[in-house]
Amino acid sequence: MSTCTAPHTAETGLLEHYVKKILAAPVYDLAVRTPLQAAPALSALLGNQVLLKREDLQPTFSFKIRGAYNKLVQLTPEQKARGVITASAGNHAQGVALAARELGIKARIVMPSTTPDLKVQGVCSRGAEAVLHGQNFPSALAHALQLVETSGCTFVPPFDDPDVIAGQGTVAMEILRQQQGPLDAIFVPVGGGGLIAGIAAYVKYLRPQVRIVGVESQGSSCLLAAMRAGERVVLPSVDGFADGTAVAQVGAYGFEICRDWVDEVITVSNDELCSAIKLIYDDTRSITEPSGALAVAGVRKYVAHHGVQGQTLVAVNSGANINFDSLRYVAERVVAQSAL
Ligand SMILES: *Cc1c(COP(=O)(O)O)cnc(C)c1O
């Protein structure tokens, strides 16, 4: 297992800045307060009380609408009138499309031409314009940035933005209100680091004893790489199984928080993600996407590594946007592992 522990010597001024933004974020115009739910079977298996923060139950089936809405709502009337652009084939695209429709803002989402129809439809059905361009994500992103130049529209980043981070941080505000009793650690899936930065800022300001543990896929562990190097690094390649978190470089705003306030980063394999999807299913009868199961996979590894018992551990179930076809692969990997 790969871990990394940061010392707590930093000033809390930056945290306070974000806590204020989080408290003022009007995300409930669109997002819902999701349950923090007991996972009895998983808790019994691990000898710790495990609670699931059910962000897979949001409209669009992931927490991304929190950040997207908080970003769009803060735009000036002129910026709102000119519209927004983003590049994404995933949960951020759906979040921006829905938030834009809610606010009456015109949204254009650039996606690689290889994007499955289902996801293109997901954007169009929410009233946004899908622009298909290029064979991969970097080429779609380049096109989006070029459109920003020529159109005067505002670019909506998926994670590297203070308003997006503050929107995602509202997840932590709910967790601390929902769990006022014992709380030892919160496990957070990491892609570009927006979600964990918002959660860490809020929790470390108010309850600094609570450990913040990032969980990354072994094939895209850009936060761990940055923590080890002491600076943001670009991963030479990225595995796409956990597509919601397949990011090559952690965001600059997020890393500014994470470098001082994230206690530990755990990485998990794709097989461990498949097992976690089943464990979540056993307790909830809900299916999460691979990135959505990162935190539960991380809890399991953390308990095995540190040998903790009787603790209260929260895992953020971040999303449920899995293609139905992919379930076959997930189920097969679970069977193959249990045969070992
Ligand atoms: C975007 C996303 C994440 C990671 O969020 P970041 O802010 O990029 O770290 C985790 N899980 C799901 C399902 C996501 O869509």
Task: Please report the atom of ligand 1 found closest to the CA of residue 189.
Answer: 10
Q: What is the Å distance from ligand 1's center to 340 Cα?
A: 31
Closest CA to 187 of 281, 135, 75, 263: 263
Q: In what order do the strands lie in the sheet with 312-317?
A: 36-38, 49-54, 312-317, 185-189, 211-217, 264-268
Q: DSSP 3-state assignment of 161?
A: coil
Taking the CA of residue 321 as reference, the ligand 1 atom at the shortest distance is: 13
Residue with the two structure tokens 């929790």? 203
Q: Which of 21, 53, 62, 64 is catalytic?
A: 64
Query: Which residue positions in the chain have pLDDT lower than 70?
Result: 1-9
Decide: 298 in ligand 1 pocket, CB within 6 A. no
Q: What is the pLDDT of residue 10?
A: 74
For residue 192 and ligand 1, the question of a CB distance below 6 A is answered with: yes
Task: Confirm whether 20 is a catalytic residue.
Answer: no
- Which residue's CA is the nearest one to ligand 1's atom 1? 244
Of 64, 245, 258, 265, best ligand 1 pocket probe by most atoms within 8 Å of the beta carbon: 245
What sign does the CA torsion over 336, 338, 339, 340 have?
positive
At the topology level, CATH places domain 64-155 in Rossmann fold (3.40.50)
71 in catalytic set: no
Q: Is 4 left (phi over 0), alpha (psi -120 to 50) or beta?
A: beta
Kindly report, as residue ranges, where domains of CATH 3.40.50.1100 are found in the chain. Answer: 12-58+161-339, 64-155
Say if residues 227 and 254 touch (Cβ distance below 8 Å). Answer: no
Distance 195 CA to ligand 1 centre (A): 7
Q: What's the confidence (pLDDT) of residue 339?
A: 84
Question: How far does residue 247's CA lie from ligand 1's centre (Å)?
Answer: 10
pTM of the model: 0.95
What pLDDT does residue 3 have? Answer: 53
Fold of 12-58+161-339: Rossmann fold (3.40.50)
Q: Tell me, what's the pLDDT at 1?
A: 46
pLDDT for residue 104: 97
